[in-house]
Copies of this chain bind each other. A is one copy, B any other.
Amino acid sequence: MVITMTINELRRDYIIDRWVVIASQRRKRPTDFIVERPRERRSAECPFCPGNEKSTPPASLVYLLSSDGSIRRDEDRGEERHKNWIVRCFPNLYPAFSPIKLESLSNIQGGFEYVRLDALGYHEVLVESPNHDEHPSVARVGQLIHAINALKDRTKFFMEKDFVKYVSIFRNHGASAGASLSHAHMQIIAMPIIPKIVFEEYSASKRYYEDNGRCIFCDIMVKERGTERLIYENNAFMVFAPWASINPFEFWIFPKRHQSTIIDMRDDDVKDFAVTLRLCLGGLRGLLNDPPYNLGFHMMPGEHYHWHVEVYPALSIWAGFEKSTGTYINIVPPEEAARCLRESLESEKRRLVH
């Protein structure tokens, strides 16, 4: 009798102590993840669409097209709202973090078990385009360049505040991934602590830098380039499915030059980043029928840190095991995810609009 059963594999993340079971016994084909998704109804009164600017707080930043074709930056003042913007940033109407400091509050601590801080910071929305449906997976590269430049502007502004310890940029796509509005947008949170996952990456990369004199992420890129997990690269960016992906079809986007935050991007980097986002998110859309996903930027000032974007397709449910242990089960091996994404991305290249 031949036992054909295989055993799953437990993999540890490159640098943080996070483990995932790559459960190939449960393996599905990409088509098994495709579900019928009702087209999300576009609200007649989308507060992010042009003309409805009064539905949001005043803009902290707008890009406007000057008559000479250049971009002019401005903000809304008082009750006035700029029209004809190209991208638009404003405070979230229900901010998790806000810059108001009331004197009556203080950072009291009731013993070390009860540590608290005021949630001082910023929580903004970046509307990526006046066009409701111009998500990065289908966007014109030129439009994405404006959105990325606006992210750079706001990140720089937030990082200069002394109470800001970290700037988180993230994107939720699809209602089931937590996007309460379907107009193309990202969110930016500036917060007074370094968040757990980034702190763990930051500490590990610092140790590595001190021991080896090199950036651990730069070294990982060299190694990943030689594997079947590589998905895409261009002049300035590289994309791969990480060794210990905790989500099916997860991929990470890294600048090839050593840069600690997005502020370090030069103009040609920004263009290559826009093309990378367009192709990879377009490839994901094509492969899995525009699936819901979340993405997050990781960035920290510091010579040993290397900024990157992590894209998490939202195709499985984190349940009792994942939530109570911090260990994950992923039924799509990253090597297989990369192969499918590479193929889908190839056909996206023909659809690229600059």
Contacts and interface: CB of A to CB of B under 8 A. Distances in A.
Interface of A: 3, 5-12, 14-15, 17-19, 21, 23, 25-26, 94-98, 100-102, 105, 111, 113-120, 166, 168, 170-172, 176-179, 187, 189, 191-193, 195-199, 216, 219-220, 223, 243, 294-298, 310, 312, 317-321, 323-327, 329
A7 B8 CA distance: 47
A325 B195 contact: yes
A9 B168 contact: no
A321 B170 contact: yes
A14 B15 CA distance: 26
Contact of A321 (B6, B196, B296, B319): B296
A9 to B, nearest CB: 6
Contacts of A216: 113
Contact of A196 (B10, B15, B325): B325
Contacts of A178: 317-320
Given A102-B7, A113-B243, A195 B320 contact: no
Nearest to A3: B100
A168 B96 contact: no
Given A198-B325, A296-B323, 7 more contacts: A15-B113, A19-B193, A21-B97, A21-B119, A96-B321, A171-B320, A177-B319
Contacts of A12: 115-116
A21 B195 contact: no
Nearest to A110: B223
Contacts of A118: 7-10
Nearest to A101: B7
B317 A297 contact: no
A329 B172 CA distance: 15
Contacts of A317: 176-178
A115 B14 CA distance: 8
Nearest to A23: B96
Nearest to A94: B26
Contacts of A297: 324
Report, nearest first, the 8 A-B pairs whose CB atoms are least far apart.
Answer: A296-B324, A178-B319, A170-B320, A195-B325, A196-B326, A294-B320, A8-B119, A197-B326
B172 A319 contact: yes
B295 A187 contact: no
B7 A119 contact: yes
A284 to B, nearest CB: 15
A298 B310 contact: no
Q: Which of A11, A15, A100, A320 has the most CB of B within 10 A?
A: A320
Contact of A95 (B25, B295, B296, B312): B25
A197 B12 CA distance: 15
A143 B212 CA distance: 59
Contacts of A15: 113
A119 B10 contact: yes
A192 B189 CA distance: 37
Nearest to A15: B113
18 contacts: A3-B102, A7-B98, A7-B100, A7-B101, A8-B118, A10-B117, A10-B192, A11-B114, A23-B94, A23-B119, A113-B219, A113-B243, A114-B243, A187-B320, A193-B327, A195-B326, A296-B325, A312-B324
